Amino acid sequence: MKNISLILTLVLGTLSACTSLEENPQSFISPEQFYKTSNDAVSAVNAIYYPLVDNKVGAQPIYNRLFDTGLDFLTDDLDAGPGSPNAEVRALAKLTHASTNLRLQQIWTEHYEGINKANIALERIPVITMDQKLQNRLLGEARFLRAFYYFNLVRLYGDVPLLLTDQTQLSIAELQVPRTPQEQVYNQIIADLSESATLFKNGSSGEAGRVTEGAAKSLLSKVYLTKREWGNSVKFAEEVINGSYGYALFDDYSQVFLPAFKNGKEHIFSAQIKGSTISTGHLVTSSDIRSGVPGLKGSYGNQLAFYTVGADKFFSLYKLYTAKDKRKRVSFVTSYKSPTDGKKYATLNAPGDSVPFINKNWDPNYAGTGQSDANANILRFAEVLLIHAEAENELNGPTDKAYGSLNKIRKRAGLDNLTTGLTKDQFRDSVYLDRRLELVAEYHRFFDLIRETGSEVTGSGPEGRGVLIKKLQLVGKTNVAARHYLYAIPQGEIDRNPKLTQNPGW
């Protein structure tokens, strides 16, 4: 099995070629001096992974809290909890934020940091005299990671500058470039992922913790799903499902998230976190855990979005799970046992109605500290099955193949097979519900709300697609508007680069 999560320690921060210049010019090592050996090449590629889970002290890394506050809070699943007092974070959750919001700036900056590190590696590694198979593998990783960072950017901001060379070697004038049309960005993403898969065929197998051919094809399937090119999405999903990569579902849903099972057969692309070794620690865990439990460090910064359904004033995603759905008791807990006094602590919004807390990042080895070694799942085999079911239904209707992929997810959850004879729209609704229940708090919901179509389309999204406005209004996030289908281009970037234009409505 080829797992592709990466252990990133603080030392990787020193591997970046984007470090600030020292005042003593003798301490500066030029790129030409540094990139000499195969070890230099490995270090350069290691650094591309770095922004996923770690960053400068005080910043929130992409998959280590930043996507909680800057992405999931903008959905109908999550809200800012009592432990998120920051005004900019709460503005995101209420959709009252502006283009000056720090989280929107950080997401932009950290993705371009990863892109530039990939550009550096892709420029420098080919000229290093080294083992050809290792070189191919490293170039495959760099191309995948550049594509992945751009995939996030183009989905969030729309047209973005497409930079494919080392930015540290460019002048300020050369860096002031206009936004590239989305279609060109997507073409580059697809080209990078296709080349990545080819390079892995000709390269050596990497150790656990690195991108693989299976990851490149899985992401290609997701890219084509986003572009609504259903045939290509089905094609690559089936190459992953039927391929020899060794991917499969865990028998027990809890194993997907427990650190004892990380890098297992279901994990295709993960940002691996060993919390005690990175500068920020595992920021998501303490944000998930409720506060006020003796001996337990938790801020309750992440909270489910509560809203009114009928007489129930505390309805949430949690109540969409049926009693037999095994995912419910894995993804959430309703109380904590104090490691200090042994008592159970739960918060009640209403008599007999316990607040569910997200449990996917819990690590029993760090129960008293709010720390965790749980990875951030970015692509796992369950999602490939869901992608396949969705794309196959859009292409050919609810075929046996579409049912087969979705029912594998349902069977693991302890649910009956989906009712046969559904219409295309009914099957689509079922896929999106299972995506929501399967992938909650894994940073997919915002993109799903924009992609989802069918009977609930409001006509307010790009090209008349998407249910973002309707779904957020249902949970009381009434400030949602058409502009929220895309992030604002950060005002700080526009101030630095006058060639950038702002997205509509911002």
Residues written for the chain: 506
d(CA 361, CA 295): 18
What residue ranges define each of the domains in the chain, with the CATH number in brackets? 10-23+31-246+488-496 (1.25.40.390), 283-367 (no CATH), 399-485 (no CATH)
d(CA 492, CA 100): 7
Residue pair 363/350 in contact (Cβ under 8 Å)? The answer is no
Contacts of 311 (CB under 8 A, 6+ apart): none
Alpha-carbon distances, residue 345 vs 303, 340, 357, 362 (angstroms): 16, 12, 12, 16
Question: Which two three-digit tokens encode residue 295?
Answer: 């001996």
* Tens of each residue's pLDDT in the chain, 506 residues: 444 333 333 233 333 333 222 333 333 445 666 789 999 999 999 999 999 998 765 678 999 999 999 999 999 999 999 999 999 999 999 999 999 999 999 999 999 999 999 999 999 999 999 999 999 999 999 999 999 999 999 999 999 999 999 988 888 888 899 999 999 999 999 999 999 999 998 877 777 778 999 999 999 999 999 999 999 999 999 999 999 999 999 999 999 999 999 999 999 999 989 888 888 888 899 999 999 999 999 999 999 999 999 999 889 999 999 999 999 999 999 999 999 999 998 866 655 677 899 999 999 999 888 899 999 999 999 999 999 999 999 999 999 999 999 999 999 999 999 999 999 999 999 999 999 999 999 999 999 999 987 544 444 444 446 899 999 999 999 999 999 999 999 999 999 999 999 999 99
| Beta carbons within 10 angstroms of residue 261's beta carbon | 16
Q: Give the start-end residues of each E strand in 18-110.
A: 78-80
Q: What is the predicted pLDDT for the residue at 313?
A: 87
Q: What is the predicted pLDDT for the residue at 14?
A: 31
For the question of whether the overall pTM of this predicted structure is more than 0.85, the answer is yes
Question: Which two three-digit tokens encode residue 255?
Answer: 């194993």
Q: What is the predicted pLDDT for the residue at 19?
A: 28
d(CA 280, CA 68): 15
Q: In one letter, which amino acid is 15?
A: L
Distance of CA 181 to the CA centre of its chain: 23
Contacts of 330 (CB under 8 A, 6+ apart): 253, 254, 257, 359, 360
Q: What is the predicted pLDDT for the residue at 398?
A: 98
Closest-CA residue to 115 (of 48, 66, 168, 181): 48
